[in-house]
Amino acid sequence: MLELTALQTETQTLIDAINTTWVLVVTFLIFFMHAGFAMLEAGQVRSKNVSNQLTKNLLTWSVGVSVFFLIGAGIDSLVGGGGFAPAFGYEAPADWITWLYGAVFAMTAATIVSGAVAGRAKLRAYVAYTFLLAAVIYPVVSGMAWYDAGLLGIDGFVGSTFGVAFDDFAGGTVVHAMGGIAGLTAAWVLGPRIGRFNDDGSANVIPGHSMTFAVLGTLMLAFGWYGFNVGTSAIFNGEGAFLGEQLGRVAMTTTLAMASGAMAAGGVAWAKTGKVDTLYVANGLLAGLVGITAIPHAATWWGAFLVGGVAGAQLPIVFSIVEKRLNIDDVCAVFPVHGSAGVIGTLMLPIVVAPSYLGNTSRVDMFLAQLTGVVVIVAWTVVTTGLIWGALKALGQARVSREHEQEGLDVSEHGVETYPEFGDEGAAVADGGTVRTDGGLATEESQTSSEPRSDGGVSGENYVPAERTTDERSD
């Protein structure tokens, strides 16, 4: 007996099949972003901590996705008004596709935190926090924001108060700002790496070990971001209408914001130092993407340029505030790249919204709804993250010992050396542990006045920290 071909099936069945395939493809694209995060973070830490950072990225996915399956998806549904419905209890196996799509968003939020606490957090502490983020912290945020009956949804207090719901299309605040703010909070609780700040509060340079890895990771993330933003829109709506206009707008605004973020960050760095900093350009590109992620479906073309430009331009400025004013050691600059950029983009919706999307909605009411959503999410994230890392710190489980930090987490936590060929005593190390102020490699003569420290930094009366760092930008 012959089977029905695709053309002989019902139209709705064909539409459902195309949408399902689309969801799976973009889910795999978003998963690939973990490779980008791994490379970006590995490039911005010292060579003695690379394996530790890569291990954290691997365990973020492995632990987080398991916890989200067993607990997190249920909490997400509970907060959204659907009752506790963990993914293992789904009756229709096709629903697991929806669960997986939600899981890759949750794991993106989780992995952002690892870049902020690099070089000094215990692996067990980071895994414990990842467990709780995937089980409770992120699901509460997504349940509030992305369910109609959730706290910030159409039927929640934001909708009933301002007549318009909090709008975050693909996670500019729900995913990225949450992750960036969580990372900043965790970094503050942990304290800075050894040698990062002097007694007078001035900052020292601790350069990352590979610009190549960092830029490669940036481009991998940008590739996966099309799944993040464009993939959030289905191909057909529930009535079978093709959503080409929305898909086109999201693809366009995502691309333009990405480009303007890179240019703006590079321009501000050039204005400050007279140099176009490569990592500022790379992380500005990511900040532009973060900025537009909440609103790519609603922004005008010029709005995409504006949002991306503002998100990129604020990166060097906000990082400088975090470093020099707050003395927080945010190793991969997850807050200016993900935190502040996500909040700014979300709040700019009323400014850059396309007239066709705005309709009869008041721009003031729209802004108040966006602001309320941001405040609630920020407050929840800071309080829960602070409590968890504070408890770990009180128990003595948050941070590695001074000796282990100086030795490097690759050896102390994993018993491996990422670059064993550079591990001999006295050999040059890939992270530039000993440097000259002119940027060259240290010679024996220069080492007499600038002795290498065991933590990879430099001490001595002739050592003058450079103005910029190579680890001041994203996850």
Q: Could you tell me if residue 422 is inside a domain?
A: no
338 phi-psi bin (left φ>0, alpha ψ -120 to 50, beta other): alpha
Shortest CA distance to 257 belongs to which of 331, 223, 307? 307
What distance in Å separates the CA atoms of residue 283 and residue 243, rounded to the nearest whole number?
31
**The predicted structure's pLDDT at residue 188:** 98
Enter the tokens of residue 198: 């002097």
Residue 443 lies inside a defined structural domain of this protein: no
Largest CA distance in the chain: 87
* Cβ–Cβ under 8 Å, residues 331 and 281: no
Contacts of 66 (CB under 8 A, 6+ apart): none
Residue 472 in domain = no
Burial of 393 (0-12, 13-18, 19+ CB in 10 A): middle
Cβ(30)–Cβ(231) below 8 Å: yes
Low-confidence ranges of the chain (pLDDT < 50): 425-475
CB 341 within 8 A of CB 287: yes
Task: Map residue 192 onto helix, strand or coil.
Answer: coil
**pLDDT value at position 430?**
40
Asked, for residue 429, whether it belongs to a domain, the answer is no
Range of the domain at 206: 20-394
| Alpha-carbon span 317 to 306, nearest angstrom | 17
Strands of 251-297, DSSP E: none
- Count of C-beta atoms within a 10 Å radius of residue 18: 14
Q: Collect all residues with Cβ–Cβ distance below 8 Å to 284 and sequence separation of at least 6.
A: 261, 262, 263, 264, 265, 266, 311, 312, 313, 315
DSSP secondary-structure letter at 5?
Answer: P
Give residues with Cβ within 8 angstroms of 67, minimum separation 6: 130, 131, 134, 135
For residue 469, is it within any domain? Answer: no
The per-residue pLDDT for 452 is 38
- pLDDT the model gives residue 436: 35
Whole-prediction pTM value?
A: 0.87
**CATH code of the domain covering residue 75:** 1.10.3430.10
Q: How many domains, the chain? A: 1
